[in-house]
Structure 1
Amino acid sequence: MHTGFWAEIAARAEATPDAEMMVDERGRRLTYGEYRDAAESFAAYLADHGVAAGTVVTWQLPTWVESVVVVGALARLGAVQNPVMPIYRERELSFVTGQAGSRLLIVPPVWRGFDYPAMAAAVAAKAPGGLDVLVVDGDLPSGDPAKLPPPPPVPAKPEDAPVRWYFYTSGTTADPKGARHTDATVMAAGVGMSERIECVPGDRVGLVFPFAHIGGCTTWLTSSVVFGVAMILTEAFDPVETVELLRREGVTLAGAGTVFHQTYLAAQRRDPSRRLFPDVRCFPGGAAPKPPGLHLQVKNEIGGAGIVAGWGLTEAPILSMAGVHDPDEALGAAEGRPNTGVRVRVVAPDGTDAAPGGEGELRAKGPQLMLGYLDAALDADAFDEDGWFRTGDLGRIDDAGNIYITGRLKDVIIRKGETISAKEIEDLLSAHPAVAEVAVVGLPDEATGERACAIVVPADPAAPPALDTLGQFLREQGLMVQKLPERLEIVEVLPRNPAGKVLKKDLKERYA
């Protein structure tokens, strides 16, 4: 039973203080003992500046050693952590910090050409309750650990664990939705995943996606402190440099999704004379569909067990996971089996359980399920009358328990594993003077999983808007770059049903 993050960090540091916990692309290394000490030192600084148990702290940081230390420090204090992806911009960040009631916002300096301190200052200036800003640029500030209050108590049972995490997901609403998690819920996801892929000390995982994602700062961090898995950090994935980093550092778990696996396969094919990752055991995945045949290509050409995929959501991470001994047929097409304690139902459109092997909405219960949204008004739609979480995913389950995702009920676009609300983009584009009507749909894309396509009825057919014009308009509204439509189609009329609803299925079929 794992109910306290700091308790696990302290226990791992006590058991294996000299074992390597992480390394980054600059060659900086931290052992578990050094990590504990660094976290306590930064925690002491935060405590001196008013952060205590229950204080909400929003942090928006790249995948850095310092980011991992921030998580440990906040766990030591019992603060409520609100990790925010670096792609969020002022519009999203203002909403999130306001709803979460954040008292401190931690950001990087200018990074990858974007001025985070300037954005943070603008957000703080509008925060009604006040919002302090801390810019992390190099070494974290430190305090005296001897002055720290006692560590947060460890709940005896998972259901007694207090809320310690707010994770936001765009979902299907225009505003992000904040999922309330405890240490117990997020650690259950990491433990379930790690057990299924048989993690052991000596394993080394490539943390190639944003650490602020729930899969990084909780799932893989759990794998590290509970199972002894070392993390290879890279602040920004590069198809050449990151692959060489993983090779040099002896990666055994080469995650973390379809776009990464395709990159590894391309790298292996550029130099088939040597194994790309000589120590690899498997390729953990999820968040996006796998193209047919990718699993066997990875397994046969690079090695290991091939792709072991999982399925979950921010509200309920890693509900299922494939195992390294599963048959290739399942590894190639399914998203694993339910993890320990997880139950999944397949519900037909009439609300009854689908026939065995039949398709329907996947609903779930499990130890990693959130406690509900910060906006409690959203809970009624998220859970059915019996407390099952409505995932919004369509799927089926075979006789062996393997879960196959067949579609989505929700009107979202999933680009590189990130969920984008079509409605949010539509609402903003509707305000453009050159746009009379607009529908945004996700179209298949080999590199990103899906790309957003805006189908526009122009206000003046003789002067339709251009894609770059609409993109600039959306940027001016504070929309993050990853949400910008990557394709534009101009039409005379949008297809609708008799009730007036736009037939997006027809649009997807027409432009796929």
Structure 2
Amino acid sequence: MTDTDTAHRLAQAPTLWELVARRAALTPDRTVLIEADTGRTLTFGALHERAEKVAAGLHDRGVRPGTVVAWQLPTRIETVLLSLALARLGAVQSPVIPFYRDREVGFALRACEAEFFAVPGTWRGYDHAAMAHRLGARGVFEAYEELPEGDPAVLPPPPADGTTVRWIYWTSGTTSDPKGVLHTDRSLLAGGSCLAHALHLTERDVGSMAFPYAHIAGPDYTVMLLLYGFPAVLFEKFAMPDALDGYRRHGVTVAGGSTAFYTMFLTEQRKDPDRPLIPSLRLLAGGGAPKPPEIYHAVVRELGCQLTHGYGMTEVPMITMGSPDDTPDHLATTEGRPPEGMAIRITDPDGKPLPAGTDGEVRLRGEAVCQGYLGGREQPFDADGFLITGDLGHLTGTGHLVLTGRSKDVIIRKGENISAKEIEDLLHLLPQVGDAAVIGLPDPERGERVCAVVEQPPGAEPLTLDAVTAHLRAAGLATHKLPEQLELVGALPRNDALRKVLKYKLREQYA
């Protein structure tokens, strides 16, 4: 039986814990987790055994099926063990990104009514335990170096139903309070399976997690490891160029995260173009933010590896994914194809389906889609049960998805709609542009004016608005889409998970 056959069979597991148990029985002695900084490792067999002991320790503390446990922990072995122990118990867990502070953490704890809260103590100079007590959190305990353990004989049977909501993930809350996104084991398994099958991975690969494990990508990636039986290197602290040693020392073959990660790898490669940055690397893969076509071509040309990019969100961890056997044009210009079971509908604003090749709202239905939002928030589904994503795009004749922007990123200048992404993709062709964000700003005459905010690479000559508009004219951009304002920044504002650009901060700054 091939790796792919085994993975497809394992993907039918009803719950995440059942998948852990099945993989442990298949390859108990194979390594699954490697810490980049410490070199500590854990096998699939030990992952299963230790997670059961931690589940027993949590049970001794009063955690039962359905108990709500929030945790705010960095990417390390203990965090994975705690999360899987909660999955073994059938508890409801609410991961919180470790960089969040009082406002976001307090909101999450109140909204999910957490009965326990696991924190790392003082981590990277910040006292998370003190914050937890300041917020009046219940059941606070530290889970950084040590976890509670007990006798698994006390445990109730593991959950058999994978369609019960047991996961609450939080959107970034960039324009308002965060939203609690409700997931089941099966929705997370479906998302991780899409990612795993699309990338054509094998047991000989070595993956990497350079993002917070508390992000929706945490279980996504864990499912991939369990399906294909290969290890991942965990980066508790990710910063270039220091992180390169971990990639090289452990022979990482698959890396990525989002477009910002691709750019960081390219920046380091350009410091020494003749030396392969990570000799073992064969694939960059990620999603979570738009990918300009030039980034794809630069990665293939300069890093000497393949790049496959996908489309996902907290509400649907994996929607489409580029595949290594896609054409270069598809990999450069699309987000890949959806897996079997993911229905994508492109509609007008009223929900009427549009034909292939026509831009409209992207709506989704499938097993990987969340169950909605926590509490009384407005639910994100239309009358046919499709999730309304807020993204704009179209499907090609081959079934590949092309994203053209966010509905809120459409700039309306003198009544004409302008796609910010179209301008951003063209700006990335300029060597003086490291990254770019195009926004609409209020304008009394035009309604909105087009503003390009550019992050330049180190040592680049300062750009001028005249140079930018000349480049865009030469690229064929229509005159009414040309930026009327250019701002140069040392670094674009980003979130702490996948380093997405926070355009609302730019709008606030330059409005």
TM-score (normalizing by structure 1): 0.77
Once the 2 structures are TM-superposed, how far is the Cα of residue 486 of structure 1 from its aligned partner? 6.7
Unaligned runs of 5+ in 1: 415-421, 423-438, 449-470, 472-481, 491-506, 508-512
Once the 2 structures are TM-superposed, how far is the Cα of residue 246 of structure 1 from its aligned partner? 0.9
Equivalent position of 1:278 in the other structure: 279
**Structure 1 residues 55-94: aligned runs within 5 Å:** 55-94=67-106
Aligned residues: 423
Contact 1:319 1:366 in 2 (8 A): no
**1:185/1:488 Cα in 2 relative to 1: closer, same or farther (>3 Å)?**
closer
**1:487/1:337 Cα in 2 relative to 1: closer, same or farther (>3 Å)?**
closer
Q: Distance in 2 between matches of 1:180 and 1:136?
A: 24
**1:387/1:87 Cα in 2 relative to 1: closer, same or farther (>3 Å)?**
same
> Which residue identity lines up with residue 260 of structure 2 in the other structure?
V
Secondary structure at the residue paired with 1:66?
helix
Equivalent position of 2:465 in the other structure: none
Once the 2 structures are TM-superposed, how far is the Cα of residue 444 of structure 1 from its aligned partner? 4.8
Secondary structure at the residue paired with 1:374?
coil
**Structure 1 residues 56-135: aligned runs within 5 Å:** 56-123=68-135, 125=136, 131-135=138-142
Q: Stretches of 4+ moved more than 6 A in 1?
A: 411-414
**1:16/1:357 Cα in 2 relative to 1: closer, same or farther (>3 Å)?**
same
Once the 2 structures are TM-superposed, how far is the Cα of residue 442 of structure 1 from its aligned partner? 9.8
1:7 to 18, 29, 36: 18
Question: 1:351-373 deviations in whole A, cap 9, x for unaligned?
Answer: 32223201111001111011111
**1:445/1:66 Cα in 2 relative to 1: closer, same or farther (>3 Å)?**
farther
Secondary structure at the residue paired with 1:7?
helix
**Structure 1 residues 142-153: aligned runs within 5 Å:** 142-153=149-160
**Structure 1 residues 152-301: aligned runs within 5 Å:** 152-153=159-160, 155=161, 161-170=163-172, 174-216=176-218, 218-301=219-302
Equivalent position of 2:43 in the other structure: 31
> Which residue identity lines up with residue 283 of structure 2 in the other structure?
C
> Which residue identity lines up with residue 367 of structure 2 in the other structure?
P
> Which residue identity lines up with residue 105 of structure 1 in the other structure?
F
**1:411/1:170 Cα in 2 relative to 1: closer, same or farther (>3 Å)?**
farther
Once the 2 structures are TM-superposed, how far is the Cα of residue 176 of structure 1 from its aligned partner? 1.1
Q: Distance in 2 between matches of 1:308 and 1:41?
A: 38
Contact 2:79 2:144 in 1 (8 A): no
Contact 1:2 1:188 in 2 (8 A): no
Contact 1:164 1:183 in 2 (8 A): yes
Secondary structure at the residue paired with 2:203?
coil
Question: 1:118-151 deviations in whole A, cap 9, x for unaligned?
Answer: 111112x2x5xxx110112412232222322222
Equivalent position of 2:470 in the other structure: none
**Structure 1 residues 415-434: aligned runs within 5 Å:** none
Equivalent position of 1:18 in the other structure: 29
> Which residue identity lines up with residue 371 of structure 1 in the other structure?
Q
Q: Distance in 2 between matches of 1:446 and 1:50?
A: 50
> Which residue identity lines up with residue 372 of structure 1 in the other structure?
G
Once the 2 structures are TM-superposed, how far is the Cα of residue 171 of structure 1 from its aligned partner? 5.3
Question: 1:369-402 deviations in whole A, cap 9, x for unaligned?
Answer: 11111124411xx111111110000111111111
Deviates more, 1:102-111 or 1:370-379: 370-379
TM-score (normalizing by structure 2): 0.78
Contact 2:175 2:504 in 1 (8 A): no
Secondary structure at the residue paired with 1:211?
coil
**1:342/1:442 Cα in 2 relative to 1: closer, same or farther (>3 Å)?**
farther
Equivalent position of 2:394 in the other structure: 396
Identity of paired residues, percent? 41
Contact 2:311 2:335 in 1 (8 A): yes
Check if 1:47 corresponds to 2:59.
yes
Unaligned runs of 5+ in 2: 1-11, 411-419, 422-438, 440-447, 458-492, 494-501
Once the 2 structures are TM-superposed, how far is the Cα of residue 3 of structure 1 from its aligned partner? 2.3
Deviates more, 1:70-79 or 1:282-291: 282-291
Q: Distance in 2 between matches of 1:400 and 1:446?
A: 35
Give the superposed CA RMSD.
Answer: 2.8
Question: 1:15-51 deviations in whole A, cap 9, x for unaligned?
Answer: 1111000101210111111111221121111000000
